[in-house]
């Protein structure tokens, strides 16, 4: 179990890494959409777990 001194630091680090990857992926997706035809040959779908 993490101590009270390491838990906030680890959480901040993990969230920072998550937001960095999200930002990079979002930038790539926007660039692909702006280029046009990004969805050609792909199928969109939704998956739902109703428990």
pLDDT of the residue at 47? 76
pLDDT in tens, 8-49: 788 888 999 999 999 998 898 888 888 887 667 677 777 778
Residues 6+ apart with CB under 8 A from 10: 2
pLDDT of the residue at 38? 67
- Going by C-alpha positions, the residue among 24, 12, 13 that lies closest to residue 32 is 24
| 15 or 51, which is more confident | 15
């Amino acid at each position: 179990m993490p101590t009270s001194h390491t838990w906030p630091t680890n959480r901040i680090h993990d969230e920072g890494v998550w937001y960095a990857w999200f930002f990079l992926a979002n930038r790539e997706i926007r660039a692909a959409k702006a280029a046009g035809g990004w969805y050609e040959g792909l199928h969109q779908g939704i998956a739902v777990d109703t428990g």
